């Protein structure tokens, strides 16, 4: 197990170059037979726990690398590394999202031939991560029943760009009197064909479905 931390200072001219770098990343992942999954969602939606639960189930049959985007801490990477998974922490400083070039810099720390599955935990926020493609084959948006009923309606663009929406912490829905059907309706209003999974990363409910949907 290796655990690394790098710090990236971003410039202002990155947005234009991002798509190009994302395409390079996608090509590189394909060349190495890596499924890359970009996991987006606000702070506290359970992105890290979702990755941990997936790693518990998958580390026996996949060689997993996790890139953890965070402003300053290594908390998430440490949690995932505790499952024996290699991690690279990307501390973005002031940037509230990852971009494709940060992924390139982080991947210089590893040998891509050692992996076939890459989880990228994006910085916790549901707004700008969606605007920066990383070159991942799958983009998951994680929302949580703890966020209240308006998350989807307030972030339609993020949902539009996702490949899959995970509604996490469904084990808490009843206690919070949360209307999951209504949230799903909001998602379908943005994209009628969007795959939606009800998951509890904590109890494991829905994790098998998520793995199947990702082809894992
Ligand atoms: Mg996290
Ligand atoms: Zn941002």
Give the pair of three-digit tokens for residue 122. 């994006």
46 in a domain, yes or no? yes
Q: For residue 198, give Cα distances in angstroms to 12, 109, 195, 206.
A: 38, 35, 10, 6
Q: Kindly give the distance from the C-alpha atom of residue 105 to the centroid of ligand 2, in angstroms, as a whole number.
A: 18
Identify which ligand lies nearest to the alpha carbon of 132: 2
Q: Kindly give the distance from the C-alpha atom of residue 28 to the centroid of ligand 1, in angstroms, as a whole number.
A: 26
Q: Kindly give the distance from the C-alpha atom of residue 88 to the centroid of ligand 2, in angstroms, as a whole number.
A: 20
Q: Kindly give the distance from the C-alpha atom of residue 26 to the centroid of ligand 2, in angstroms, as a whole number.
A: 21
7 in a domain, yes or no? no
Residue 215 φ/ψ region, left for φ over 0, alpha for ψ in the -120 to 50 degree band, beta for the rest: left
Burial state string for 122-143 with b = 16 or more CB within 10 A and e = fewer than 16: bbbbbebbbebbbbbbebbbbb
* Phi, psi angles (nearest 5°) of residue 195: -65, 130
- At residue 4, the pLDDT reads 83
Query: What tens-digit pLDDT sequence spans the chain (216 residues)?
Result: 788 887 766 555 656 789 999 999 999 999 999 999 999 999 999 999 999 999 999 999 999 999 999 988 999 999 999 999 999 999 988 889 999 999 999 999 999 999 999 999 999 988 889 889 999 999 999 999 999 899 899 889 899 999 999 999 999 999 999 999 999 999 999 999 999 999 999 999 999 999 999 999
Q: Kindly give the distance from the C-alpha atom of residue 128 to the centroid of ligand 2, in angstroms, as a whole number.
A: 4
29 in a domain, yes or no? no
Identify which ligand lies nearest to the alpha carbon of 131: 2
- At residue 68, the pLDDT reads 95
CATH number of the domain that residue 57 is part of: 3.40.50.300
- At residue 12, the pLDDT reads 53
22 in a domain, yes or no? no
39 in a domain, yes or no? yes
Beta strands in 98-182 (DSSP E): 117-121, 138-144, 164-168
- Output Rg (C-alpha) for the chain, integer angstroms: 16
Q: Which of 35, 28, 46, 171 is nearest to 104 (CA)?
A: 28
Classify the C-alpha dihedral 57-207-79-121 as positive or negative: positive
Q: Kindly give the distance from the C-alpha atom of residue 202 to the centroid of ligand 2, in angstroms, as a whole number.
A: 28
Identify which ligand lies nearest to the alpha carbon of 124: 1
Q: Kindly give the distance from the C-alpha atom of residue 126 to the centroid of ligand 2, in angstroms, as a whole number.
A: 9
Domain of 163 in residue numbering reads as 34-213
- At residue 2, the pLDDT reads 80
6 in a domain, yes or no? no
15 in a domain, yes or no? no
Q: Kindly give the distance from the C-alpha atom of residue 124 to the centroid of ligand 2, in angstroms, as a whole number.
A: 9
Q: For residue 46, give Cα distances in angstroms to 9, 92, 169.
A: 27, 20, 8
Q: Report pTM.
A: 0.92
Q: Structural domain tally of the chain?
A: 1
Give the pair of three-digit tokens for residue 55. 């790693």
Q: Kindly give the distance from the C-alpha atom of residue 13 to the centroid of ligand 2, in angstroms, as a whole number.
A: 14
Q: Which of 63, 70, 67 is nearest to 97 (CA)?
A: 70
- At residue 11, the pLDDT reads 56
């Amino acid at each position: 197990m290796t655990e690394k931390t790098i710090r990236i200072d971003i410039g202002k001219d990155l947005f234009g170059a991002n798509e190009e770098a994302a395409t390079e990343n996608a090509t590189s992942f394909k060349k190495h037979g890596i499924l890359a999954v970009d996991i987006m969602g606000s702070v506290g939606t359970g992105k890290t726990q979702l990755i941990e639960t997936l790693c518990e189930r998958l580390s026996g049959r996949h060689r997993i690398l996790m890139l953890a985007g965070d402003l300053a801490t290594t908390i998430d990477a440490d949690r995932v590394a505790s499952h024996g998974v290699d991690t690279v922490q990307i501390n973005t400083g002031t940037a509230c999202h990852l971009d494709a070039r940060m992924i390139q810099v982080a991947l210089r720390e590893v040998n891509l031939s050692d992996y076939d599955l890459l989880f990228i935990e994006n910085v916790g926020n549901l707004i700008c991560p969606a605007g920066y493609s990383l070159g991942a084959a799958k983009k998951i948006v994680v929302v949580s029943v703890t966020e209240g009923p308006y998350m989807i309606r307030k972030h339609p663009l993020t949902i539009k760009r996702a490949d899959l929406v995970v509604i996490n912490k469904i084990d808490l829905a009843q206690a919070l009197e949360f209307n999951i059907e209504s949230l799903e309706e909001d998602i379908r209003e943005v994209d009628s064909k969007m795959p939606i999974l009800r998951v509890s990363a904590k109890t494991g409910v829905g994790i098998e479905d998520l793995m199947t949907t990702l082809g894992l």
